[in-house]
Amino acid sequence: MKNVVLASTSTLYGEKYLQYLLPVMQELFAGIEEIVFIPYARPGGISHDEYTARAAAGLAGTGITVKGLHTFADPVQAIREAKGFFTGGGNTFVLVKQLHELKLMDLLSEVVSKGTPYIGASAGSNIGGVNMQTTNDMPIVYPPSFQTMGLMPYNLNPHYQEPIPGVPHMGETRETRILEFHTQQSIPVIGLREGSWIRIKGNEIRLEGSMPAKIFEQGKTPYELAAGSDIKI
Amino acid sequence: MKNVVLASTSTLYGEKYLQYLLPVMQELFAGIEEIVFIPYARPGGISHDEYTARAAAGLAGTGITVKGLHTFADPVQAIREAKGFFTGGGNTFVLVKQLHELKLMDLLSEVVSKGTPYIGASAGSNIGGVNMQTTNDMPIVYPPSFQTMGLMPYNLNPHYQEPIPGVPHMGETRETRILEFHTQQSIPVIGLREGSWIRIKGNEIRLEGSMPAKIFEQGKTPYELAAGSDIKI
């Protein structure tokens, strides 16, 4: 049974790294002592070691330890044997390129679909969707494919926000970009605000956390979905 | 001799489409009656015909008429014979995919480098850089390559802006994204604010318009460059 959390962000404004997600992770990883951390998104270009240490520090006190996927001689075996996964945020292009080049994307999807608990934040949540084509990130590397795990039949837009009133800027809004996505593809998109996460348990997909999400379906006016609602698009 | 304008945006807040650029275009295209409009970036997914009509309307009264590149039976010949080019903004991924699939990217670069006047706005300016990997756009399609025209040895970030003070949002700032780009590539990046454009005449590259630009060089603290300055990085 799928057991997945896809969070908009790792960190809420004014809070410590992972602070608001710790209860969610303790429930997700109940009874599990060690999980595999996937550090490939490298926020700000930090090393895999540094990023894994940051994740370990964020989880200090929970009884959950982390081991970086990059430290295993055989990452395929590591994914097959992992008790749980946490994929940190950063650059989605960098993350997806690495997972495809190491032939780990489909394997991770398979293992998580069979029930190994998974939590992603930001870029780590983007890869839970059908493809990474609604990311906000800059294309700083060229991945061999934009396809991701497809743990749900939707795409995500993490850190979703509305335009800020009164700011005289002519760059596209987030909504404009997602509507442009729908000129090319029909996958529904969940605009996931900071403070929200998607909880997948088996066939149930629910919006959790403190904020409504904005739902984009091709050809429909975007609409709000209240926190706590089932997502059935 | 190269004769190029790369503008941050087509439209300033509160102004009509192309309004502030009309004097720039009249100087760039002095003595030219008809230019080729490249509509491939399709902002909001509008059709090539609609976008070309919008460009024609924006240029009404200047004596410059436009013909959409999509209307030529042989776009290679159209590019070779054009008297001038205007590439409109929209989605850079869509624009770059189309130019590569039609084998027009290198040809356009060659023709513009030999002196056919060129103006781009936003996505149309991104393709003046070495590659499109500092675009702000969403990767709604998968181009066969991220390489662009390389009319200057820099990349652009159009619609550049600083974080807005007091907005409690944890998504990356524009500066953070560009610094991440420099963890992967060494090409200098010009953060081009709305109201600014880059003017290339032969070997001279100058920042024009009303705003300073923010210059990002790998390994250096980003710095401001005043409007009117030569760009020599």
- Tell which residue, A38, A122, A87, A169, has the closest CA to residue B172: A122
**pLDDT greater than 70 at residue B169:** no
Nearest to B107 by CA among B80, B128, B71: B80
Q: Which residue has the tokens 């070779």?
A: B80
State pLDDT tens for residues A150-188.
999 999 999 998 877 666 666 678 898 999 999 999 999
Beta carbons of B140 and A133 less than 8 Å apart: yes
Please give the Cα distance from B69 to B22 (Å, whole number): 21
Nearest CA in chain A to B173: A137
Number of H helices, E strands in chain B: 7, 11
Cα separation, B37 vs B121, whole angstroms: 12
- Å from B176 to nearest chain A CA? 7
What does the CA dihedral B184, B223, B139, A87 come to, rounded to 10 degrees?
60
B125-137 average pLDDT score: 97
Q: Say whether B176 and A44 touch across the interface (CB within 8 A).
A: yes
Give yes or no for residue A137 having a pLDDT over 90: yes
Closest to B140 (Cβ–Cβ): which among A9, A93, A180?
A: A180
pLDDT of res. B8: 95
Choose the closest CB to B135 out of A139, A145, A167.
A139
Residue B233 forms part of a structural domain: no
Structural domain contains residue A20: yes
Mean pLDDT of B211-215: 97
Q: What are phi and psi of B209, to 5 degrees?
A: 100, -160
Cβ <8 Å between B138 and A139: no
How far A31 CA sits from the closest chain B CA (Å)? Answer: 31
pLDDT at residue B51 is higher than 70: yes
Q: DSSP string of A36-94? A: EEE-TT-GGG--HHHHHHHHHHHTTTTT-EEEEGGG-S-HHHHHHH-S-EEE--S-HHH
Residue A233 lies in a domain: no
- Give the torsion sign (CA, A87, A222, B137, A13): negative
Shortest distance, CA A14 to any CA of chain B (angstroms): 8
pLDDT of residue A170: 61
Assigned domain for B232 exists: no
| pLDDT bucket at B171, cuts 50 / 70 / 90 | low
Place of tokens 């409009």: B37
CA–CA distance, A2 with A202 (Å, rounded to integer): 5
B-chain residue closest to A158, CA distance: B171
Would A175 be classed as within a structural domain?
A: yes
3-state secondary structure of A125: helix
pLDDT at B13: 87
How far is B85 from A64, CA to CA, in rounded Å?
59
Residues 6 or more apart whose Cβ sits within 8 Å of residue A45: B179, B180, B182, B183, B184
Instruction: Give the residue numbers of B annotated as catalytic, written as ranges.
Output: 122, 137, 159
Which CATH number fits the domain that encloses residue A138? 3.40.50.880
Q: Is residue A60 part of a domain?
A: yes
Nearest by CB to A142, which of B94, B146, B179? Answer: B146
The closest CB to that of B194, out of A136, A169, A180, belongs to A169
**Nearest chain B residue (CA) to A171:** B159
Minimal-distance CA residue of chain B relative to A180: B44
Q: Is the CB of B146 less than 8 angstroms away from the CB of A139?
A: yes
Q: Is B180 close to A132, i.e. CB distance below 8 A?
A: no
- Indicate whether A34 belongs to any domain: yes
Q: Is B73 exposed, middle or buried (0-12, 13-18, 19+ CB in 10 A)?
A: exposed
- Over residues A55-70, mean pLDDT: 96
User: What's the token pair of residue B8?
Assistant: 């941050």
Question: Which of A14, A159, A184 lies closest to B140 in CB terms?
Answer: A184
- CA A106, A107, A112, A113 dihedral sign is positive
Residues of chain A found within 8 Å of residue B42, distances taken between Cβ atoms: 183
Question: How far is it, in rounded angstroms, from Cα B63 to Cα A183?
Answer: 34
What distance in Å separates the CA atoms of residue A210 and residue A35, rounded to the nearest whole number?
26
Question: What's the residue count for chain A?
Answer: 233
SS3 B28: helix
Q: Mean pLDDT of all residues in chain B?
A: 95
The token duo for B198 is 């880059």
What's the pLDDT band for B170 if we cut at 50, 70, 90?
A: low
Active site residue ranges of A: 122, 137, 159
Confidence of residue A13 (pLDDT cuts 50, 70, 90): confident
Q: What does the pLDDT read at residue B162?
A: 83
From A141-150, B170-179, B190-199, the region with the lowest mean pLDDT = B170-179
CB contact under 8 A, A167 and B164: yes
CB pair distance less than 8 Å for A194 and B134: no
DSSP B89-149: -S-HHHHHHHHHHTT-HHHHHHHHHTT--EEEETHHHHTTSSBSTT--S---S--S--B--
**Residue A189 belongs to some domain of the structure:** yes
Q: How many structural domains compose chain A? A: 1
pLDDT of residue A53: 98
Q: Residue B17 in 3-state DSSP? A: coil
Q: Are A10 and A89 in contact (CB under 8 A)?
A: yes
Taking one residue from A and the other from B, the number of pairs with CB-CB distance under 8 angstroms is 126
- The range of the structural domain enclosing residue B21 comes to 3-225
